[in-house]
Amino acid sequence: MKTQQNISLGIWLMIGSTVIFALQDGISRHLGGSYNVYMVVMLRFWAFAAFVIAMAARTPGGLRAAARTRFPLQQIARGLILVAEVCAMVVAFVKLGLIESHAVFACYPLLVAALSGPILGEKVGWRRWTAIAIGFVGVLIILEPGISVFSPWALIPLICAAAFAVYGLLTRFVARKDKASVSFFWTGVVGAIAMTPAGLWHWQPMLLADWGWMAALCCTAILGHWLLIKAYAVAEASAVQPFAYLQLMFIALLGVFLFNETLRPNVAIGAGVVVAAGLFTLWRQRIKAQEPPQV
C-alpha cells in the first residue's frame, strides 16, 4: 500500500522550512561577520549531531540501526561535502550578501539534472538540457561577467551549488538501500566530527548576546530539517519541491530590511530565469516519473 499523501500539509511544511532556513542564513551571516566561520559551523553541527543522535536513540534498533549503512564511503562523502558547502556559503553571505548568494545558489536543481546522468545513470532529455542552458544564462545575468567589475566571491555560491547538487545525488544514490533516518544520522555525525578540529583551532570568545544568536542558529537548523523531513514524509517530493524557491523571496526581504542589501535589477531578472528553468526541470522530472516503463 502507498503511504497516504497530504499534499496541502506537505506544501505548508515546505513553506515553513523555507522561512526557517532563511532565518538560519540571516543568523549565519550575522555570526559569520563577527566570528570565525569554522567555529560557527562547528557549533551548529554539534547541535545537529546531538539532535540526530537523540532521534536515533528513540527509534527501534537505536544508534546501531541508525549507523548501519550499505554505503559507508558515500555517506562519509555526503557529510564532508555538506559541511564544506555550509562553510563556503556562510563566507559568501558575509562577502557577497544574502540576496546575491542565494540568487546564484538557486541553480543547484539544474546542476542536479545535469549531473544525474554521469552520477546516477539517469537519462536527461533535450527539453531538460535546454532548461539547464537557459538557467545558466540566468546565472550569467546575475554575475554580469565583462559588464561590471566581476567579484571572485561570486564564484563561491556557484561552487556551493555544484557541491550541494553532488550531495543531493549521493543522497539519492544511498537511498536505494539506506533509510532516510540513516542518511540523516550520518550527515549530522560526520559533519560534527569533520568540523571539530578546525572549529576548536579557531575558537574565539563569544559575547553573551551572540550566544543567544548561536542558540537560535542551532534551533533553526534543527527545526528547518525537521520540517523538511516531515514535508517529504507526507507528500511526494515533486509536489512540494517547487515551493522551496520561496526561500529566495524570504531571503530578499531579510537582505533588504535587516542587512541593507540592494536587490539589483539584473539579480532579480537572473534569479527569475533560474527559478523558471528549475521549475521546468522539476515538472519534466515529474512527467517522466509518471510515464510507464519501456519494455
DSSP 245: G
Report how far residue 229's alpha carbon sits from residue 264's, in angstroms, rounded to the nearest whole number.
Answer: 34
Mean local confidence (pLDDT), 91-105: 88
pLDDT in tens, 175-221: 888 888 888 899 999 999 999 999 999 999 999 999 999 999 999 98
Banded pLDDT at 126 (limits 50, 70, 90): low
Query: Is residue 286 included in any domain, yes or no?
Result: yes
pLDDT at 127 over 50: yes
Output the pLDDT for position 73. 95
| Bigger pLDDT: 116 vs 258 | 258
pLDDT at 228 over 90: no
Query: Is residue 2 included in any domain, yes or no?
Result: no
Report how far residue 295's alpha carbon sits from residue 288's, in angstroms, rounded to the nearest whole number.
Answer: 15
Query: Is residue 80 included in any domain, yes or no?
Result: no
> Domain residues for 144?
97-177+264-295
Mean local confidence (pLDDT), 280-287: 70
Query: Is residue 66 included in any domain, yes or no?
Result: no
**Count of structural domains within the chain:** 1
Query: Is residue 91 included in any domain, yes or no?
Result: no
| Bigger pLDDT: 117 vs 179 | 179
- The reported pTM is 0.83
pLDDT at 132 over 90: no
Output the pLDDT for position 100. 86
Query: Is residue 256 included in any domain, yes or no?
Result: no
With CA atoms as reference, report the closest residue to 89 among 141, 160, 158: 160
Name residues whose C-beta falls within 8 Å of residue 231's C-beta, 6 or more positions apart in sequence. 10, 11, 13, 14, 17, 240
DSSP states of 226-244: HHHHHHHHHS-HHHHGGGG
Output the pLDDT for position 48. 92
Query: Is residue 147 included in any domain, yes or no?
Result: yes
Query: Is residue 184 included in any domain, yes or no?
Result: no
Output the pLDDT for position 3. 45
